[in-house]
Chains A and B, each alone.
Chain A
């Protein structure tokens, strides 16, 4: 226990330095901005800001990028409630009850509960990271290549199980990502693979390049299709009376608790993340409610639970990254990119060799959450006014920022061209209902998986049985197989779709 206190003390010592406080604030504000504005996702923003972090010290860079991620979860809820537009995928379900509350003149309590729930979830998640960090790191140090390979397989299976829509298509996207990660030089022999003697491809496809193309440009093009000006009806009434009533508090307290627990668990699981967590928390809350008919008509529990869940998940998804070095979702995959830029290889070693970095980031999350709570409620008016910026002026700005951002990663025009090409690939994927998130995860895990697979096979002298003979690896693979079978069973598949359809309407 005292160990944890020491760690957190060290972390807070790092996090309260003026520079880091400022960076934390900037991250949280940029995150809120991104969360408020529809049409720019967290992934694209983090990718866009990667080059900016070059000049910063590693701790500061990570603190800022983390701030963007959880800040976006906050900001998304504001627009969901006031405008009925989720600024962020994680807040889609918040629109259901949040906007209804706003229509009934109770926007204030809805915003307050969303913020309080998020803050509470953020606190719990911070403690959870501190608690689980050390033991998981010890476990991770015992992992051999076979275990790592099995764990990553499990992670990819989770990504498939939790993805929306067809299982087959989700698996195909992962394999597509794995295949893309093979482009470039082979790690062991240095042989050039599928690079067609193009010098720009010799180093492989940049992760930020693909992410920005598929999540940034493709998203813009898609929005242009739809004619993005539709339906921005602001609730014009002034937001008065932020304080929730006693009845509100009683109704939302258990929902916040349940949302936090569910979100924390789903965040840790590979393939999960904020979006899934908020959907799951809403559905769960509706299932166990005594009066489910209230949901969709302004039930405060329907705001409290998903908002707590997405914030908890946004933070706990750092656990697998920091302890095992495995990014559980696309945003964390970009964090790996940020760490690599600064010469840090995420994994158990970081926890031991650079404790100030890890604990500083964890402590900053708590501080960032506090900042968001204080900043966000008084600033609601400003954020809402930002929504009046019409999309036809906003999107060219995003195109310009993305282009400059990608160019400055390597000062390479070829990267920009590649991003444009992946924008079209992403557009095609959207049109064919393929989900891009698993692709990104596959692309990040590809080189890690190949390396560990090769090592495991080398150590076992080509015996594939090694994956089932080592107990830890066997357990992980068994879980993965069981999950896959469960999802593929048509009965359960139908149910799974119901869950999403229900929560989306």
Chain B
């Protein structure tokens, strides 16, 4: 994901790498395959004609390595699409909202977590109007607090731990 070349894509640019999109995609997959090789290297392989736990992972990792190299090679040799633009705002706020949910749902309970998650995710779009978003956020929080614990009967705790005790 951390391609250094996350620049604006323009297909017309002709460098040494003719199809950067494919090239970096292939390189990343190949790297991933090598990582999988390393990660599964401690597992026993074939014993006689029966598979060990490590056989299939290494088989698939090997295949992925070959495919990654092939894709990177195609990207190197043939004209292809340039790298697409990566945006920062959307991915950043959505990811933060999701992570926040994961870390606060246990200690802070459903009400606060849902509302905070909604508001932070909403920051991902530049078109927010705060009053409107806050109203919808409160409505959704109320809706979730009725739907999940009551109608669907899932075990959720509403308020922060420290308030209950």
Query: Which residues does A use to contact B, with CB under 8 Å?
Result: 51-52, 54-55, 166, 168-169, 171-172, 175-176, 178-179, 182, 186, 188-189, 191, 193-194, 196, 217, 220-221, 224-225, 229, 390-393, 395-397, 399-401, 403-404, 407-408, 411, 413-414, 416-417, 419-420, 423-425, 427-428, 431-434, 446, 450, 453-454, 457-458, 461-463
Contact = CB atoms under 8 A, between A and B. Distances in A.
23 contacts: A52-B152, A166-B74, A168-B71, A169-B22, A175-B63, A175-B64, A176-B32, A179-B33, A182-B56, A189-B52, A191-B53, A193-B57, A217-B95, A221-B124, A229-B127, A390-B127, A392-B127, A395-B125, A399-B118, A424-B91, A431-B21, A431-B83, A434-B25
Contacts of B137: 396
Q: Interface majority SS on B: helix, strand, loop or mixed?
A: helix
A194 B36 CA distance: 7
Contacts of A229: 127
B48 A462 contact: yes
Contacts of B97: 396, 399, 403
Q: Interface majority SS on A: helix, strand, loop or mixed?
A: helix
Of the candidates A411, A417, A432, the one having the most CB atoms from chain B within 10 angstroms of its own CB is A432
Contacts of A193: 40, 43, 53-54, 57
A501 B106 CA distance: 49
A404 B64 contact: no
B95 A420 contact: yes
Given A225-B87, A416-B98, A432 B144 contact: no
Contacts, number: 206
B117 A417 contact: no
B61 A458 contact: no
B39 interface: yes
A202 to B, nearest CB: 13
A434 B26 CA distance: 10
Nearest to A391: B125
B15 interface: no
Given A393-B132, A396-B121, A432 B25 contact: yes
A117 B105 CA distance: 46
Contact of A400 (B118, B133, B156): B118
